Structure 1
Amino acid sequence: MLPQLLFKLLSMKHSWNGGTSSWRITRKNCLLLNNIFLMTGALLALTSRAAKSFEMIIISRVLIGINAGISMNVQPMYFGESAPKHLRGAISLSSAVFTSFGVVLGQVVGLREILGSEPCWQYLLASNAIPGLIQLLTLPWFPESPRYLLIDKGDKEACINALRRLRGCEVQSSELDEILQEQAETKGMRPSRPWDLFTDRAVRWQLISVMIISSAMQLCGNDSIYFYASYVFKEAGIADDTIQYITIGTGTCEFTACIMCNLLIERKGRRFMLMGGFILMTIWAIVFTIALAFEHYISWMSYLSMACIFTYILSFGMGPAGVTGILPTEIFNQTARPAAYMIAGSMMWLNLFIVGMIFPFLVSGLSEYCFVPFGAVCLMSALYIGFFLPETKGKSLSVITREFHKLNFKGQDTSLESQPQAQYQLGEVCLSTAL
């Protein structure tokens, strides 16, 4: 339990470092250098048994927590900045797809017949070095983020070359125009620090949205469902030796749901997927509570509880699991995006740590009603998204900014409403110069 909580705290702390590193060095180099923590942690875990040192395991978990905190911020930012507008959501969400795939893979290799046995646990802890090695061998051949090259570094030629390599064809003028427009809008602005966002009224509702939705992603109770799964399966009469195989189904559900979300996000939109996921989770939390309350009176209620576990995880994967991570890319500009990811990542890991700490007390205090608070969080999150979060599907940053401007400066007649048009004209001038 202690290593898991330590992992969460370190991931939260280094979510801040991930955002800072991503504008001090390039996005790609940040991901490559981040593998130092992964490889060192894996090596310590692998040799800890021979050294008979539990301290090496703790240090290993600290280093893996640093790696996770940085990569889960920089990866979706790199994907989102490299993707074309019409595929931005699907490509950014692929990070969540492979994260859920990693959960399933971890459950499989953690079986007692594979690496989950006493003689092999050190290999299980060190197995996360394999995806890191794959990244080290492949990522150097990929181009840097085009937006980073043009907006942050001012290297127009490198941006165009990166776009050519990513698209496999000549650069579309409309795509370069959008990047040039964002460059014009952020010209002369220094990279924002996290505390700058809290005092900037122009991003007030963007920041509120990211903080609420990132917190709700962990406070919704999905990780607690995994904790409760073994108890429910045992109550349903499943043998202890079989539970480890059934548990793989929970990870498979989230993986399948993330794939479905990836396929639907550009059709249905971010707002629909997020709100739909939270509404469904609210419904399943209610049904799960009823099933737990009556499982000692009605025999088939334990099977209903099992069904609720899978449907709850499916609903989570269809919305919050994937869409939450791409929001900072779409609603913040280039100068504020790394700081927004620092805050979003910190909120996710902090709230995951809080849930891990208080859930045992919720179970002991509320018993079968322990999922009522999670259902309330899901309902309030769905209401917030429905009332305050604009749709970002297929929209440029300027259009999204104008929609948030109506909330940030509600009731005020400022000159900001006319700025996007002026900035667009400036972007056209920059484009004509570039071409």
Structure 2
Amino acid sequence: MSSSTPCAAPLEQARHHTSSNRLIFISVLVATMGALAFGYDTGIIAGALPFMTLPVDQGGLGLNAFTEGLVTSSLIIGAAFGSLASGYISDRFGRRLTLRLLSLLFITGALCTAIAPSISFMVGARFLLGIAVGGGSATVPVFIAEIAGPKRRGRLVSRNELMIVSGQLLAYTLSALLAALMQIPDIWRYMLAFAMVPGVLLLVGTFFVPASPHWLASKGRLDEARQVLEKLRETPEDAQREVEEMREQHEHARQRPPIGELLRQGWVIKLLLIGIGLGFTAQFTGVNAFMYYTPIILKNTGMGTNAALTATIGNGIVSVIATLLGIWAIGRYGRRHLLMTGLVMVVVTQVALGCVLTFMPQNLTQSYTALACILLFLLVMQMCIAPVYWLLMSELFPMQVRGLLTGTAVSMQWLFNAAVAFTFPIALAALGNPTFFAFAVINVGSLIFVFFCLPETKGKSLEQIERHMKKELV
């Protein structure tokens, strides 16, 4: 009996290691169903818009440039409200319950967009769906960051971005396939209806994941937090070390002023402004002008509707590949380094696209050269900027108000997204191709902001980041 004991311990450790990895994998997979829905719902509009612009008697909704922007941006404005509200709800009631509520909104919103009889109904349905998208964008990265340990946080949180771009790729591919296979005018309704699927998966999955241990600790439920961490971490020592850090943080939080007073402290306000500035940086790259309107940009070069939809699949493929590269890069390089590298390349590609559309003759060569510029832009954006943005949103803010401040910063990001989505078709109609040069100038300003204002967070625990931010920004 005694001779088998030394062998039993390593075997038990191996089983626990496998079990903890499995639970983290399941938790991340379930949470990122919200990101998959986010990606699909924001991507599918690119395939649906060309059909929704058809007259009502031909199965469309009769959209013009103004109502195109309205339908597209209504989801994004809803997302601003959703991210702000979810920040409060997730701090008050927990990340898991918030994800469960959001899944119901994903399902309901997708169904309503699919049956929309009019533009006003569609705008309202997209707004409802946007509440779910925004809520998921604020809650999913925080939940993953709090489930993962410091060693794996960067790569696991970055899977949120991987699922967003996978959802967009799914949307582009499905819209092209449906347009090719089903020659019916209201095909856009089927495209939008498929968005219910990730919502259902998220709803079911939330019954199989643990509560966030950091949220439990913030509520003083340290014993429950320890029980969860013992299931999630590779060794009891890792779990105990994290519990002690959270206990210390909780004791500090009890000595802090009330939340209202904390939110008025200079270092917290500076952090929030940095978070808002990062949202501006991410959105005014112009990324969603391409994600929503690439088919329309390519049609303006003379490419046909079905060909433009098929070409847009390239957006999704490049985004997925770039995000995988980004997950690798985040493990090796600092957040600041990746963001600044990405912004330099974004400026170059925006200028190149503006030159192609302005100076090349309108023919097939121009179409494919423009597409190449867009794909290179997306490669850089999805590798160096987007995953870093969502990772920073999960890291920057103090535990006591993490959900609220993340929700606030992300809601502003969605408003910036809405501004780009709403004004881009109008600017393109009014200004033409110089629109892309304007994006390049804005991104030079964003580069200066990141250089001077963004602290580095790589390699620190959430508690260490909080202490570092307070010391640096006071």
TM-score, length basis structure 2? 0.78
**Counterpart pick for 1:257 among 316, 322, 328:** 322
Residue 363 of structure 1: CA displacement? 2.1
SS of 1:390 mapped into structure 2 = coil
Equivalent pairs: percent with the same residue? 26
Deviations 1:122-143 (A, max 9, x none): 3322211111111222221111
Deviations 1:264-283 (A, max 9, x none): 21211222222221111011
Q: Which residue of 1 aligns with 2:185?
A: 118
Alpha-carbon distance in 1 for matches of 2:207, 2:379: 35
**Counterpart pick for 1:170 among 217, 226, 236:** 236
Alpha-carbon distance in 1 for matches of 2:187, 2:434: 39
Q: Which residue of 1 aligns with 2:162?
A: 97
Alpha-carbon distance in 2 for matches of 1:190, 1:73: 25
Alpha-carbon distance in 1 for matches of 2:343, 2:296: 24
Q: Which residue of 2 aligns with 1:310?
A: 375
Deviations 1:240-273 (A, max 9, x none): 4322111111122112211211122121122222
Determine whether 1:39 maps to 2:107: yes
Deviations 1:323-359 (A, max 9, x none): 1122232121111211211221211111111112322
CA contact (8 A) 2:151 2:459 kept: yes
Q: Which residue of 2 aligns with 1:11?
A: 79
Determine whether 1:384 maps to 2:449: yes
CA contact (8 A) 1:294 1:301 kept: no
Deviations 1:213-246 (A, max 9, x none): 1112111111123455335545766544322111
CA contact (8 A) 2:109 2:129 kept: yes
Alpha-carbon distance in 2 for matches of 1:316, 1:218: 10
Relative to structure 1, the CA distance from residue 147 to residue 371 in structure 2 (aligned partners, 3 Å threshold; closer, same or farther) is same
CA contact (8 A) 1:110 1:116 kept: no
CA contact (8 A) 2:144 2:157 kept: yes
Alpha-carbon distance in 2 for matches of 1:310, 1:258: 13
Q: Which residue of 2 aligns with 1:425?
A: none
Alpha-carbon distance in 2 for matches of 1:149, 1:254: 35
CA contact (8 A) 1:37 1:66 kept: yes
Relative to structure 1, the CA distance from residue 66 to residue 234 in structure 2 (aligned partners, 3 Å threshold; closer, same or farther) is closer
Residue 44 of structure 1: CA displacement? 3.4
- Give 1:275's aligned amino acid: M
Determine whether 1:295 maps to 2:355: no
CA contact (8 A) 2:256 2:262 kept: no
Deviations 1:276-328 (A, max 9, x none): 21111011112222222321399955543222110111111012212112223
Alpha-carbon distance in 2 for matches of 1:27, 1:196: 22
Relative to structure 1, the CA distance from residue 29 to residue 190 in structure 2 (aligned partners, 3 Å threshold; closer, same or farther) is farther
Alpha-carbon distance in 2 for matches of 1:319, 1:228: 22
CA contact (8 A) 2:74 2:126 kept: yes
Q: Which residue of 2 aligns with 1:413?
A: none
Q: Which residue of 2 aligns with 1:217?
A: 282
**Counterpart pick for 2:336 among 271, 278, 287:** 271
Alpha-carbon distance in 2 for matches of 1:116, 1:387: 53
Q: Which residue of 1 aligns with 2:273?
A: 208
Relative to structure 1, the CA distance from residue 232 to residue 73 in structure 2 (aligned partners, 3 Å threshold; closer, same or farther) is closer
Q: Which moved more, 1:287-296 or 1:16-25?
A: 287-296
Alpha-carbon distance in 2 for matches of 1:286, 1:119: 37
Structure 2 residues without counterparts, runs of 5 or longer: 1-67
CA contact (8 A) 2:303 2:364 kept: no
Residue 15 of structure 1: CA displacement? 1.4
Deviations 1:60-81 (A, max 9, x none): 3232111111111111110111
Residue 119 of structure 1: CA displacement? 5.3
Residue 392 of structure 1: CA displacement? 0.6
Determine whether 1:127 maps to 2:191: no
Q: Which residue of 2 aligns with 1:153?
A: 219
- Give 1:148's aligned amino acid: W
Q: Which moved more, 1:183-192 or 1:199-208?
A: 183-192
Residue 210 of structure 1: CA displacement? 0.6
- Give 2:380's aligned amino acid: S
Alpha-carbon distance in 2 for matches of 1:55, 1:368: 31
- Give 2:165's aligned amino acid: S
Structure 1 residues without counterparts, runs of 5 or longer: 410-435
- Give 1:155's aligned amino acid: R
SS of 2:361 mapped into structure 1 = coil
Alpha-carbon distance in 1 for matches of 2:441, 2:276: 17
Relative to structure 1, the CA distance from residue 59 to residue 366 in structure 2 (aligned partners, 3 Å threshold; closer, same or farther) is closer
CA contact (8 A) 1:109 1:116 kept: no
- Give 1:177's aligned amino acid: E
Relative to structure 1, the CA distance from residue 306 to residue 6 in structure 2 (aligned partners, 3 Å threshold; closer, same or farther) is closer
**Counterpart pick for 2:416 among 308, 331, 351:** 351
Counterpart mapping for 1:61-100 below 5 A: 61-100=126-165
Relative to structure 1, the CA distance from residue 204 to residue 44 in structure 2 (aligned partners, 3 Å threshold; closer, same or farther) is closer
Relative to structure 1, the CA distance from residue 282 to residue 189 in structure 2 (aligned partners, 3 Å threshold; closer, same or farther) is same
TM-score, length basis structure 1? 0.84
Counterpart mapping for 1:216-235 below 5 A: 216-226=281-291, 229-230=294-295, 233-234=298-299
- Give 1:176's aligned amino acid: V
CA contact (8 A) 2:302 2:364 kept: no
Residue 206 of structure 1: CA displacement? 1.4
CA contact (8 A) 2:222 2:243 kept: no
Q: Which moved more, 1:218-227 or 1:170-179?
A: 170-179
